[in-house]
A and B are shown apart, each in its own frame.
Chain A
Amino acid sequence: MTALQALTSYGVGISSFVTSPRVRPHHRRVILAKVEPSDKSVEIMRKFSEQYARKSGTYFCVDKGVTSVVIKGLADHKDSLGAPLCPCRHYDDKAAEAGQGFWNCPCVPMRERKECHCMLFLTPDNDFAGQEQTISLEEIKVATANM
């Protein structure tokens, strides 16, 4: 798992190096307080969320900001732990929990009872449920731009 993560980060590093080989970038990168999840993981979790919403007959929140934040949280855990651990819980030992699997998305409460307390997958009778089962990468980026 760590080798895969290293490969991913190395791949990202190489691509950015190729685009600007000798010229220094004119714009300064803003240093974020918290490390953002990689674009690749965000895309993977976005596709997973759309697919699982379709499969389970659930819908995204009316406020796509909530959906975006949770997808990024899943991507962040996927990067750091190798598995998309639920971002809306606090754990004593994240690595152990990721290995155990109960709270890996889709978590057991979701699989068994369609209960998603992250408000990522909402049953149609839920007051916060929207009409959509899709979300674009652009929507995710815009909603989480200021984080």
Chain B
Amino acid sequence: MNSSNSSTNFLPPPPPLSLSLFKLGIMLSVPSIFSSRAPPSPPPLSLSNFPFKTHNRNLLFPTTTTRPSLLSAPISPSLPRKLLCRPPSAKYVREDYLVKKLSAKEVQELVKGERNVPLIIDFYATWCGPCILMAQELEMLAVEYESNALIVKVDTDDEYEFARDMQVRGLPTLYFISPDPNKEAIRTEGLIPIQMMRDIIDNQM
């Protein structure tokens, strides 16, 4: 399989069940993935922002209306479900992305410094379509691996010289750098399935 075709000739594996709900969250928040460059203005989501009081008030109603009575007005057998909180709008979901955008200097320091987890560097560009899909996959991977892998991204339009020095050509390009300095780095070009990324991290690093 050529690298230029690698992005297009595979079947994405079905996500594990535990991730399927999260994937729904990612799907809902696709516009927010697009907004990764938006200014950091919205406040972080917190349960205290949501109307618990409203919910408590609603709890009062079932006790008075579920009692069957010939005289009472006909009521629907089940009350309409009240949501605990308003579902987050796509704009504000995942305001704190797990995959952080770093400058060339910060990445170089990370590479030189000591680590005990693999480092994954995602080289992307603003207007590269597959890079957006890759960013979604990397967010999922970041949640899955938590502190067992460090995933960062570099904007090749900002860090021109660094991308040139790293011989980045096609986008997105991923570099997998092992914590073991004796192991060689692995580089992939194009959109790759998440399972391939897991295999590289688990087996090669």
Contact = CB atoms under 8 A, between A and B. Distances in A.
Interface of A: 33-34, 61, 63, 65-70, 72-74, 76, 87-90, 92, 109, 115, 117-120, 122, 126-128, 143-147
B91 A88 contact: no
Contacts of A117: 4, 7-8, 130, 170, 190
Nearest to A127: B11
B129 A67 contact: yes
Contact of A69 (B35, B38, B132): B132
A127 B12 contact: yes
B176 interface: no
A115 B4 contact: yes
Given A70-B129, A145-B31, A90 B169 contact: yes
Interface residues on B, range: 35 or more
7 contacts: A34-B157, A63-B30, A68-B129, A73-B128, A76-B127, A89-B171, A90-B168
- Quick one: which of B4, B32, B91 has the most chain A CB within 10 A? B4
Contacts of A74: 127
B123 A34 contact: no
B10 A69 contact: no
B8 A90 contact: no
Contact of A147 (B7, B91, B126, B169): B126
B133 A63 contact: yes
Given A90-B163, A127-B10, A145-B31, A119 B168 contact: no
Contact of B170 (A73, A88, A146): A88
A126 B191 CA distance: 13
Given A119-B129, A120-B129, A146 B171 contact: no
A78 to B, nearest CB: 11
Contacts of A92: 164
Contacts of A118: 128-130
B178 interface: no
Closest 10 CB pairs of A and B: A73-B127, A146-B35, A66-B129, A70-B129, A87-B127, A88-B128, A69-B129, A90-B168, A146-B34, A90-B156
